[in-house]
Amino acid sequence: MKPFIQILSVVVFLCYSLPFLSKAQQIGAEIDFFGYVDNREYKSIYTEDKTFLGAIISPKLYFAIDSNHRIYGGLNYGQDFGRHHENKENVSAIAYYNFKNRHFDFALGLMPRHERLKDVPRIVLADTFQYEKPNMEGMYFAFQKKNLKQALYIDWLSKQSHNQRERFMVGLTGKYRFGDFYVADDALLYHNALTSNDEIDDHIQDNGIVLLRLGADFSKKTFLDSLTIDAGIAIGFDRVRTEYELRTAKGFISQIHLGYKQFFLDNTLYLGEAQNLPNGDSFYHRDRYNRLDLGWSPFKKGNIEGRFTASFHIAPDKTSNQQAFTIRYRFGTVLKK
């Protein structure tokens, strides 16, 4: 009953607001559909052997106050396949303000995660976020000029209450290009604070990671459609206050991407100390890890893309495999100029 009430509330709000917002210079509609079948045959410790099957649809309206200012309203509706009373059904509102011009992109509110954080490495944010928490709740600010783009984001995961902790993430992601080369940076701080109930014996937890990579893009110098190689360092931080002081974990990470027509290959190698990252991919909880992705895009045209990926996770204890098919279709139209 709760999801129905949430959907009805959004519809009523939009209908009530429409007469007031009709004075906007432009009104438009956007729809993002994301379907996924992700079978994870994981055998290593710290990992969860699970299959994700479902679909998420995210319709929203925008009201352009002028060429730079927009207000968005809509919802995310997600449903796992095989629905029953224990099955996850996720409805969350989309409501945010966005200022955007040539150099700046600022958003505040409840906004789709994929649009702005799709390129964040898995060691920083696990890809399960796109299934289980498609919305980012907080703030996003990006600056872009010529060959530089740098973004800062805050994602509020949980408001403090009597039984729930205050939890949030603050992150950086960016890239600077010079010629055929680039420097990429990513960082994340995860803060898991206390509840408002003093009787619960909680300890404040802080986790973080800094990722710095130097890479080269040879896409225009080979017969391949895309070829990038990068390597760098990953430094993780971990602390549970009153339990133990700040610990660090350092490692080497490298990535290779090859793309030719409808096919692609991605390989990620990590060597170093095991990371303790609650929001990163669980395979990095070990000192050696290699991920190989072999992919095929049977159709990719305009705003629609279907992708099949076979992944192999090579770890010291076991080798795991994963098969995933995803389809994403984004549509937008202007309703009133």
Looking at residue 18, what is its pLDDT?
57
Q: Would you kindly state where each structural domain of the chain is located, as residue ranges?
A: 2-336
Residue with tokens 């898995």: 122
State yes or no: pLDDT of 5 exceeds 90.
no
Q: Average pLDDT of 313-327?
A: 95
Looking at residue 289, what is its pLDDT?
97
Looking at residue 13, what is its pLDDT?
54
pLDDT digits (tens, 9 = 90+) for 163-181: 888 999 999 999 999 999 9
Q: Average pLDDT of 276-294?
A: 95
State yes or no: pLDDT of 130 exceeds 70.
yes
pLDDT digits (tens, 9 = 90+) for 40-53: 999 988 898 999 99
300 confidence band (pLDDT: 50, 70, 90): confident
Lowest average pLDDT, out of 15-29, 78-92, 145-159, 161-175, goes to 15-29
Q: How far apart are the first and last CA of the chain?
A: 37
Predicted structure pTM score = 0.89
Q: Over pLDDT 70: what percentage of the chain?
A: 92
CATH of domain 2-336: 2.40.160.10
**Rounded to an integer, what distance in angstroms lies between the CA atom of residue 169 and that of residue 167?**
7
162 confidence band (pLDDT: 50, 70, 90): confident
Q: Over pLDDT 90: what percentage of the chain?
A: 74
